Amino acid sequence: DASAGEGGTEHSLVDGDSIPPAVPRDESLDEDNFDKLVEFRDTHGHCDVPLSNAELGPWVKDLRAAYTLHSEEDDASLTANFIQRLEEIGFRWTIPLDKDAAWAAKFEQLKQYAEANGDCFVPRKHKELGQWVGYQRRLYSKRACQEKSTLTDARIAELESIGFEWKILKHPKKAGPVFI
C-alpha cells in the first residue's frame, strides 16, 4: 500500500519500507559522463566501467538501475534517445559474471595496492578490495580445514607471489589486533 508523507507520496516495498518516487536525471551530468564514458571506451575497448572507478562507476551503476526501472515500471528517467545513444557506443545493461575474470581483476587491484603501499594489508576503508582480501583468507582457511573452497593452488601461488599473508594477528604498521 502507498503511504503519503508531507510533500508527496512514497512507494511501498514488500517489507513495508518505503522509497521516494524516482528523481529526474540530471541531463547535464549525464551528458558530461556520456562523454567520459566514450573516452573510457576508446581507452579500454569496452564500456564495462568497474564500480571501483570513482568517476564513472557509480554513475554506470545508477544508469543500470534506472534502466531496470525504465523497463519494469515504465519509468521515464531515462529517455529512449539516451538509451539508444548508450547502446550505440556499446554500453551493456547487464554484465555476464565471469568469475575468473572478476578474480583476476581483484588480484590486479591488490597487486597495484601492494606496489603502492609495500604490502597486501588492505584496510577496511578500501571496502571492495578489503572484503575480497578477507574472503581469500576465509577460502584459504576452509581449504586448510579440508572444507569446500574455490581457492586453487594457482591462485594461492599468485597471491603469495606479491607478498600476500594468510594469517594476520596484528597489522605490522599498527598496534592492536586486526579483525578480518
φ/ψ of residue 130, rounded to 5:
-60, -40
- Residue 160: the pLDDT is 97
**Is the confidence at residue 16, as pLDDT, over 60?**
no
| Mean of pLDDT values over 136-146 | 94
More confident residue, 51 or 4: 51
Distance CA 20, CA 3 (A): 11
Q: Which of 152, 108, 160, 98 is nearest to 132 (CA)?
A: 108
Q: What is the mean pLDDT of the chain?
A: 80
| Mean of pLDDT values over 142-156 | 93
More confident residue, 159 or 10: 159
φ/ψ of residue 4, rounded to 5:
-95, 130
Name the H helices within the chain: 27-44, 57-73, 80-88, 99-117, 127-144, 153-161
**Is the confidence at residue 162, as pLDDT, over 50?**
yes
More confident residue, 62 or 101: 62
Distance CA 83, CA 30 (A): 11
Read off the pLDDT band of 26 (50, 70, 90).
confident
- Residue 126: the pLDDT is 83
Q: Write out pLDDT tens, residues 112-127.
A: 999 999 999 998 788 8
- Under a CB-based contact definition with an 8 Å cutoff, are residues 30 and 82 in contact? yes
More confident residue, 143 or 25: 143
- pTM, rounded to two decimals: 0.47
